[in-house]
Amino acid sequence: MKIEVNKMVKMAVLAALSVVLMLVVRFPIIPSAPFLIYEPADVPILIGAFMYGPAAGLAITLVVALIQAAFFSADGWVGFVMHMIATGALVLVAGFIYRRFHTRKGAIAGLAAGSICMALIMIPANLFFTVQFYGYPYEVVKSMILPALLPFNLIKAFANSIIVLVLYKSVSRIIKDFGKMLPKKA
């Protein structure tokens, strides 16, 4: 698979922006679960998926999750896997739908379906990983699904989706123009 350098550089810029947002904008949104932290790191990843397709969005997710796991998270490989599952579901579903229906309605449908998919897939992911690797009892994690885990993932995914809807056109134009500054092949 040959990826042109221009596209790879733009994807790297989106990954870097995602890491910066993950580090700079962080706050809890569910008072009963202050360890669930909102960060808008999925916004540049979703923009990448809309610009270059779901596989590119997943590649950006992989890079961001590796950087987060290696340098900024105490969760290590478990955090990496959870990030890949959550953001991967959102990006793949939204990216596939937007690629098929390349309109504003397609973007809205993709982001809505991706958000719901992310929230739903994180239920079994939390029941497995949080119990097996963080040592929380199954019943405790299960009791957190409706009051904390599901609302958190829905709020996070839909908030990031709304930001993407507001910013996508202008950010994609900037990124496309950024490519004009790069040297052309000789």
Structural Rg of the chain based on CA atoms: 17
Q: Which two tokens stand for residue 74?
A: 């105490």
Those residues with Cβ within 8 angstroms of residue 184's Cβ, 6 or more apart along the chain or in another chain: none
Is 0.75 topped by the overall pTM?
yes
Q: Using the 8-state DSSP alphabet, how is residue 25 labeled?
A: S
List phi, psi (to 5°) of 28. -75, 150
**pLDDT string in tens for the chain (186-residue length):** 455 888 998 999 999 999 999 999 999 999 989 999 999 999 999 999 999 999 999 999 999 999 999 998 878 899 999 999 999 999 999 999 999 999 999 999 999 999 999 999 999 999 999 999 988 999 999 999 999 999 999 999 999 999 999 999 888 888 877 766 656 655
List phi, psi (to 5°) of 185. -65, 145
Domains along the sequence of the chain with CATH: 5-24+37-180 (1.10.1760.20)
Whole-angstrom Cα distance, residue 117 to residue 154?
Answer: 9
Q: Using the 8-state DSSP alphabet, how is residue 149 labeled?
A: I
Those residues with Cβ within 8 angstroms of residue 123's Cβ, 6 or more apart along the chain or in another chain: 145, 149, 150
